[in-house]
Amino acid sequence: MTERMRRFLRPEEGAVTVEFVIIFPLVLLLFFLIVFASMGISTASDVQQVAHELARQSIGRLSRSAPVEDVCQDLASDTALMNHLVDQSLLLNPAKLAVQPCPTMPTADGFVTVTVTYNFAGSLVQALGKNFGLNLGIITRSSTVKL
């Protein structure tokens, strides 16, 4: 056998292990990046859903005979409603959810805008974000309805 033929037929016992050691961390990193992005998007979607439901609830609050000074604060103080909305979510913590005051609602055109903020402090999404160099603090979403 020639030298060239021996080099071609040499054993490759450790090749799969070396490939695994090189590729597995990259696959694992990609997996965690997908989980992180999914959790962030899901949380933002849940906050938007809470804002939308609160905006819908504001119609009923403003339709009552007794006037409401600040419909947003009235909605935020309804703990049963807030707990029900947060219970529908997988990632939201009710202690980190805040409804912004809106004393000038409804507008002259009859629109009501409800703004909700969610603080990521201490959450799994923020912890994962720090590992990737992202500083996730507060997410804000608004929803508008016409009376």
Can you give the pLDDT at residue 82? 92
Residue found under tokens 């500083």: 135
Can you give the pLDDT at residue 128? 74
pLDDT in tens, the chain (147 residues): 567 766 666 666 777 888 888 999 999 989 988 988 888 889 899 999 999 999 999 988 888 777 778 999 999 999 999 999 999 888 888 888 999 998 888 888 989 999 999 988 777 777 777 777 777 788 899 999 998
Can you give the pLDDT at residue 138? 86
Can you give the pLDDT at residue 93? 86
Can you give the pLDDT at residue 62? 86
Torsion of Cα atoms, 13 then 18 then 21 then 23, to 10°: -110
Domain range summary for the chain, segments of one domain joined by +: 42-146
Residues of 26-65 as b/e, b for ≥16 C-beta within 10 angstroms?
eeeeeeeeeebeebbeebbebbebbbbbbbebbeebbeee
Can you give the pLDDT at residue 147? 85
